[in-house]
Amino acid sequence: MAFHDIVAIGTSAGGVAALIEVVRSLPKDLRAAVFVVIHMSPSSPSILPEILSKAGPLPAFHPADGDKVQHGRVYVARPDRHLLVEKNRVLVKNGPKENRFRPAIDALFRSIAYTYGPRAIGVVLTGTLDDGTSGLWTIKRHGGVAVVQDPAGAHSPQMPMNVLSEMKVDHVVPLSEMGSLLTRLVEKPIGPRPKRSAKEQKRLVMEIEIATKDNAFDRGIIGIGELTAFTCPECQGALVKLKEGDITRFRCHTGHAFTASALLAGISEASEDHLWRAMQSIEGFTMLLNQIGNQFKDKDQPQEAEKFFKKAEQNRKRARVIHESVIEQESLSEDLRFEKPGDKRFRPRRKRNNR
């Protein structure tokens, strides 16, 4: 008899403290393998395995590509690498970013769903935006169990709230009960694996292969969705729209993937970058006009100098308008729908001039 012996956990902002609380309450003889993805800086060394190993009875580590999946271990995604599974072994790959992150929660969840089906338990903890929603939907579609931290007690409730707004989950529990819930679920026998269409399975396999660094264009990504007028904020590639139930996602022809929320956040940041570049270009133009004006002034040609000084002042005014636009630029995402009056946690971060 098979059991729920594969646990995949995804988290972001506030995730370290949340993971510590979860692993602390897991038993040392847990008959399951635990996989963890947390959004992190790609350039900073991660000591999360050491932290989790000290916090609970299970050994945690960054796996190597090809490691065997074993019960009683916590496999932690390393910085700037996707954590995936295939045929009872771990894959550590440098595939395209998903939702602007590598490692990505959705990439792990999809591979877990495809490989283990109803044996999987997917868990979404605290975090911003909605990485994990699509992957948890896939786990549920393949017979697995969907678990979400109660957003009321989450450090950053947007990730759990996004899941709950898009799909029906099996369990919503506070963090203090998460470890005991997982311990009980691991001991429950699984049900049958639901049958899915060949088209759905083909797309799932394609997306898992893309995450392993396979070429998205050669794999035929353009043909599995609706071509859009949007371009990828990562590489400017063409984006196709994908539908999963009520969930809308996007993937570009080079492989980058986005939820609608992550795409909105990426485009809003790209818009700010364009404004900065425009302002810098105009300011450079202004400096050159002033320099030429000063050259004519030094040659005692005031009329010619005034022409260039006048143009420089016009450009300075244009740059000032753009500068004010940059100052007021907001980093936007679909998390705006969760905004509550007076609750600053739900408000988009307003960017200031820090360049």
Single-letter code of the amino acid located at 270: A
Which of the residues are catalytic? 12, 39, 131
9 in helix, strand or coil? strand
Spatial distance between the Cα atoms of 81 and 274, rounded to a whole number of angstroms: 29
Could you tell me if 161 and 310 lie in one domain? Answer: no
Could you tell me if 268 and 181 lie in one domain? Answer: no
Domain boundary among 186, 217, 247: 186
> What are the C-alpha distances in Å from 221 to residues 74, 208, 238?
33, 12, 10
Residue 233 lies in a domain: no
Could you tell me if 17 and 148 lie in one domain? Answer: yes
Structure token digits, residue 321: 């308008």
Please give the pLDDT value at position 323: 83
Please give the pLDDT value at position 44: 79
Spatial distance between the Cα atoms of 172 and 151, rounded to a whole number of angstroms: 9
Residue with tokens 């847990």: 30
Domain boundary among 186, 215, 241: 186
Could you tell me if 169 and 278 lie in one domain? Answer: no
Could you tell me if 178 and 42 lie in one domain? Answer: yes
Spatial distance between the Cα atoms of 49 and 115, rounded to a whole number of angstroms: 24
Sign for the CA dihedral angle at 330, 346, 344, 79 comes to: negative
350 in helix, strand or coil? strand
Could you tell me if 153 and 301 lie in one domain? Answer: no
Could you tell me if 171 and 269 lie in one domain? Answer: no
Please give the pLDDT value at position 267: 85
Sign for the CA dihedral angle at 189, 192, 196, 198 comes to: positive
Please give the pLDDT value at position 352: 35
Could you tell me if 156 and 287 lie in one domain? Answer: no
Residue 304 lies in a domain: yes
Q: For residue 286, give the DSSP letter.
A: H
Residue 241 lies in a domain: no
Residue 39 lies in a domain: yes
Residue 227 lies in a domain: no
- According to DSSP, the β-strands at 171-173 and 145-149 are parallel
CATH number of the domain to which 80 belongs: 3.40.50.180
Could you tell me if 173 and 57 lie in one domain? Answer: yes
Residue 212 lies in a domain: no
Q: Which domain holds residue 66?
A: 6-186
Could you tell me if 174 and 321 lie in one domain? Answer: no
Residue 229 lies in a domain: no
Please give the pLDDT value at position 68: 98
Could you tell me if 165 and 268 lie in one domain? Answer: no
Q: Return averaged pLDDT per consecutive 10 residues of the chain, 355 residues in all.
A: 95 97 97 96 90 98 98 97 96 94 97 98 95 96 98 95 95 98 96 93 93 77 87 92 92 92 86 85 94 96 95 92 76 59 45 35
Please give the pLDDT value at position 346: 45
Q: Where are the beta strands (DSSP E) in the chain?
A: 6-11, 33-38, 60-61, 74-76, 82-86, 89-93, 120-124, 145-149, 171-173, 226-231, 238-244, 247-252, 257-259
Residue 54 lies in a domain: yes
324 in helix, strand or coil? helix
- Split into its structural domains, the chain has a count of 2
92 in helix, strand or coil? strand
Please give the pLDDT value at position 224: 82
Single-letter code of the amino acid located at 239: L
Could you tell me if 170 and 266 lie in one domain? Answer: no
Structure token digits, residue 40: 């992190």
Please give the pLDDT value at position 348: 38
Domain boundary among 158, 186, 214: 186
Please give the pLDDT value at position 326: 74
